[in-house]
Chain A
Amino acid sequence: MKYTKELVSTLIIILITFLLAAVLIIVAKYDPGMALQSFFYGIFGSLHGFAEIMVRATPLILAGLGVSVAFSTGFFNIGAEGQLYMGAIAITFVGVFLPPMPPMLHIAVAILAGFLLGGIWAVIPGFLKAKYGVSEIITTIMFNYIAINIVGILVRTVLKNTESALPYSPVMPKSLSFPLLLYPTRLHGGLILALACAVLIYIIMKKTTIGYELRVVGFNKRAGTCSGISVYKNIVLASLISGGLAGLAGVSEIAGVHHRLLEGISPGYGYIAIIVALMGRNHPVGVIISAIGLSALQVGANSMQRQAGIPTSITSVLMGVIVLLALGKNIMFSGILKKMRIK
């Protein structure tokens, strides 16, 4: 019976979301039939659509995993966006300033650097939270704005490609590119990295003492302290892992998609990752599913924009509403469920 209730609630959420989308589209005087058609065509219409969903899901899975680890530990990391950019900066530095290396080693160094720099960008707020109780929500947000501006500064100064007038870094060497998985689409090896990280995070969180400590601290800090589990250590550790994974999302975007640093490489992946973690209930499998789902929503929305001219920002509205409905469903739908005699 519990599953029926879940299923019906989910169906209601999907229905409401569709209705809201329809209302927005009609109110804004776009063509709803065209919108619907292009939305589904974008997602299911071609191999390219499928590949595009996976390409966009890759950074969402990585950053989403990161956010989920932080949330599980009670660290509200809203800063995945900035941490992602820090990872992107790290791989660019590796590409521009380090001597040439064999491909495997080169990419490994970049991954490590991205993890560390992304991690450090989260550890600072983590440290401030654990040591002084400074609200991480605010510091991580501020760090997002700072990181984005740092990218802006770097691509105009030390990382600038001197042969171009545009604020871009030089193109990365071939050894710093992920292999393409499904030529001619953009699907790249970052997806494998993301899935591997999901497995790793699953094992750490569910099977090891490290994950056990993190979860205890997330649920009840005081009980942790009284059991000899250091709240300080675990919050710092969680922020490191969390920022590191978001940093990997940045590495993956450079190595798999853009191949050089420029402004605006993330269309808010770091923010969407928060919703990915929330909808995925902080579970790696849930994160993968919700990352693919939200990615499909975006790919469909892009297709709507191309063919029906509908602004893609409609996805933000819908994502916000989906989260609200999902969180409040038990109380919001209790009346409807009662009428349908579902307990």
Chain B
Amino acid sequence: MPNLQLKDIFKEFPGVIANDNVSLTVEKGEIHALLGENGAGKTTLMNILYGIYTKDVGTIIWKDEEVSFKSPRDAIESGIGMVHQHFMLVPTLSVAQNITLGIKDKGYPFNNRKKVVKDITELSKKYGLQVDPTQLISKLSVGARQRVEILKSLYRNAELLILDEPTAVLTPQETDNFFEILKKLKKEGHSVIIITHRIPEVIKITDKVTILKDGKNVATVKTSETNENELSNYMIGRSLKTFSSREEVIESEDNGLVLEHVGLNKKLKTLTDISFQVKKGEIFGIAGVDGNGQKELAEVIAGIRKPDSGTILIAGKNMNRASFKTRKKAGLAYITDDRHHEGLVLDMNVTENMILKDYDQEPFSKKSIINYNVVREKTEQRIKDYDIKTPGVKTPIRLLSGGNQQKVIIARELAVGPSVVLACQPTRGLDIGATEFVRQILINKRNEGLSILLISADLEEIVSICDRIAVIFEGRIVGIVKNGADLDLNKIGLMMAGHIGETVNS
């Protein structure tokens, strides 16, 4: 008898069918993968189970009883816990406060810190989940926050744990450690559902896989009876695209972008002594776990933050004191990692967003007067060139899909002929089609001889398209390696955890 059964779940959002008669069963003590690309409906399905959304049609059976959770509280009380991709932790509260948030313990409503700390310590020992209960969440690393999230569910006696993209933010070593924890959970009789789009980890850790595509069930298979290729075919209807190798690269000794001993915020050591060169016709990747200074590095290069020390050269020109606009004129294009807050103005339309970086340049404006006829023509041209799907040029950009929003950004940044491209997490949150589109454009631009700096926490992405790979850890470059067939992923993993590696300059 399965522990959990979802039968024919149907859920429609205005304009989109998120789940179209999806079914799923999970046994006690089973690790079950819910595989699919972004937008396949995995998270929606789990949010329905967890009581965040309500289903339109369908039945949920949990421990032999039909249930319909109206809120997460119902789900938690029935023994279901969920760790969201974006952690649901309150940064200004302590670990213990977060773990016990919403629980009416003995002594309610007064705090009972001593007992709570004792309980948490016991629990963390039992499952090997190391945390300091008195520490503030804001002071913790990403890995530690994940442990807190899992403890939070276990503290509430979760029998079924739903984990949404749990490894997205971990180093390979942290991932291994995380897999150990999963095994312990399984041994203790917990069921686990992992939402993921990463096929290798499905193979490595799960017992069973359910694949979703466009909101529909594609297949459910035993992990032991399948392989990566089959899963990939289920997930996207074809094998994953592999990108062209280095042969097409124009060999060049000229550097498009040079950083020499760049440092930011000496006290906090946000960035320390960063040096590297990005050649023309090269994609230079910066790998590393999120929050190790990538964002700050991008902003220092773009001129949004000013470094304390060091030199930045763009196309051979010293840019230390230059503003973003000067750098842009020198040939820098900046694709930010945060489309909604930094790359676009969601309340403006496609046309207005298309000139966000060039509104004060000819031909878009002369003497401060914007020529909207020219702007519209150029926008229409770019919509064609980059295959942007939008109802019209005056459509609010908010209404476009993530992939098309990103295409607007890329069209805007690349159409003006830059010589250096700074791309920060350019495929984050995109579906596979859009992801491949973006990667292909970066490769095309490299082949045209541009210098491309790709900052990405997705190691797979870095490995698939970069020529050289630098690893950043706590604001330092711990090593630079050449990409190729002989690349040692284990070594990169160690560097991502802070071990010093070698440096290769060509």
CA distance A90 to B368 in the complex (A): 31
Of residues 347 through 393 on chain B, the ones whose CB sits less than 8 Å from some CB of chain A are 347-348, 352, 355-357, 359-360, 365, 368-370, 372
In the assembled complex, B304 has its CB within 8 A of some CB on chain A:
yes
Report the Cα distance A207→B373, complex, angstroms. Answer: 11
Structural contact, A226 and B368, CB atoms closer than 8 A = no
A209 interface contact, C-beta 8 A: yes
| CB atoms of A226 and B346 under 8 A apart | no
Q: Mark B338-349, 1 if CB is under 8 A from A, else 0.
A: 100111111110
Interface residue stretch chosen among A48-56, A211-219, A250-258, A298-306:
A211-219
Contact of B345 among A207, A208, A210, A223 (CB under 8 A): A223
- Tell me how far the C-beta of B439 lies from the nearest C-beta in chain A, rounded to whole angstroms: 23
CB neighbours (8 Å) of B336 from chain A are 226
User: Do the beta carbons of B344 and A223 come within 8 Å of each other?
Assistant: yes
CB pair B345–A220 under 8 Å, yes or no, is yes
Picked from A209, A219, A226, the residue with its CB within 8 Å of the CB of B359 is A209
Whether a CB of chain B sits under 8 angstroms from the CB of A225 is yes
Number of A-B contacts (CB under 8 A): 59
- B41-49, B186-194, B320-328, B468-476 - the one binding chain A: B320-328
Known: A208-B369, A216-B356. A228 touches B346 (CB 8 A): no
Is A174 among interface residues, defined by CB-CB distance under 8 A? Answer: no
- Cα distance A215–B347 in the bound complex, in angstroms: 10
Instruction: Tell me, yes or no, whether B178 is within 8 Å of chain A by CB.
Output: no
Asked, given contacts A212-B359, A219-B347, whether A227 binds B370 with beta carbons under 8 Å apart, the answer is: no
A222 at the binding interface (Cβ < 8 Å): yes
Please indicate the chain A residues that have their CB under 8 angstroms from the CB of B355 in the complex. Answer: 212
Assess the B347–A227 pair: CB atoms within 8 A: no
Contact between A227 and B324 (Cβ–Cβ < 8 Å)?
yes
Among B328, B341, B359, the residue within 8 A (CB) of A222 is B341
Whether A228 lies near B369 (C-beta < 8 A) is no
Main SS class of interface, A: helix
Say yes or no for B62: interface residue by CB 8 A criterion.
Answer: no
- Complex alpha-carbon distance, A223 and B360, angstroms: 16
Is B302 engaged at the interface, CB distance under 8 Å to the other chain? yes
A212→B365 CA distance, assembly (Å): 11
Asked whether B334 is an interface residue with its Cβ less than 8 Å from the other chain, the reply is yes
Please judge, given known A-B contacts A209-B365, A209-B368, whether A228 and B345 are in contact too, CB under 8 Å: no
Interface centre among B338, B346, B368 (most CB of A within 10 A): B368
**Are A223 and B342 interface neighbours, CB within 8 A?**
yes
Contact A209 B370 (CB under 8 A): yes
Question: Which A200-252 residues have a C-beta within 8 angstroms of B?
Answer: 207-210, 212-213, 215-216, 219-220, 222-223, 225-228
From A207, A213, A222, A228, B357 is in contact (CB under 8 Å) with A228
Contact yes or no, B343 A208, CB < 8 A: no
Bound complex: CA A223 to CA B304 (Å): 11
A210 near B344 with CB under 8 A, answer no
Using CB atoms, name the residue of chain A closest to B357.
A227
Contact of B370 among A212, A222, A225 (CB under 8 A): A212
- CB pair B328–A223 under 8 Å, yes or no, is no
The residue from B334, B347, B365, B372 contacting A226, defined by CB atoms under 8 A apart: B334
CB neighbours of A226 from chain B (8 A): 302, 304, 324, 334, 336, 342-343
Chain B residues whose C-beta falls within 8 Å of the C-beta of A228 in the assembled complex: 303, 323-325, 328, 357
Alpha-carbon gap, A212 to B356, bound state (A): 9
Inside 8 A of B346's CB, which chain A residues have their CB? 219-220
Residues of A within 8 A of B372 (CB): 207
Within 8 Å CB of B357, what residues of A?
227-228
B265 CB to nearest chain A CB (Å): 18
Of the candidates B324, B344, B369, the one whose C-beta lies within 8 Å of that of A207 is B369
A228 to B368 CA separation, bound complex (whole angstroms)? 16
Q: Which residue of B lies closest to A204 (CB)?
A: B368
> Chain B nearest CB: distance from A335 CB in Å?
18
CB distance from A133 to the nearest CB of B (A): 18
Judge whether A223 and B365 touch: CB under 8 Å.
no
The answer to whether B304 and A225 have CB atoms under 8 Å apart is yes
Residue of B nearest to A230 (CB): B323
Q: Which residues of B contact A209 (CB under 8 A)?
A: 359-360, 365, 368-370
Given A210, A215, A220, A227, which contacts B341 in the complex, CB threshold below 8 Å? A220
Q: Which residue of A lies closest to B336 (CB)?
A: A226
Contact (Cβ within 8 A) B348 A215: yes
B279-292 interface code vs A (CB 8 A; 1 in, 0 out): 00000000000000
**Alpha-carbon gap, A227 to B412, bound state (A):** 12
B360 contacts across to A, CB distance below 8 A? 209
Cα A251 to Cα B344 with chains together (Å): 40
B 166-177 binary contact with A (CB < 8 Å = 1; else 0): 000000000000
Closest to B338 in A: A222
- Inter-chain contacts of B344 with A (CB < 8 A): 220, 223
Contacts of A212 in B (CB 8 A): 352, 355, 359, 370
Provide the bound-state CA to CA distance between A214 and B179, in Å.
Answer: 50
**9 interchain pairs, CB-CB under 8 A:** A209-B360, A209-B365, A212-B355, A212-B359, A212-B370, A213-B359, A226-B304, A227-B324, A228-B324
B residues apposed to A, CB below 8 Å: 302-304, 323-325, 328, 334, 336, 338, 341-348, 352, 355-357, 359-360, 365, 368-370, 372
Sample of 19 more A-B contacts, CB < 8 Å, known A208-B365, A223-B356, A226-B343: A207-B370, A207-B372, A209-B360, A209-B365, A209-B370, A212-B352, A215-B348, A216-B345, A216-B348, A219-B348, A220-B341, A220-B344, A220-B346, A222-B342, A225-B342, A226-B304, A226-B334, A226-B336, A227-B324
Binding site for B on A (CB under 8 A): 207-210, 212-213, 215-216, 219-220, 222-223, 225-228
Top 5 nearest A-B pairs (CB, nearest first) are A228-B324, A228-B325, A226-B342, A219-B347, A220-B345
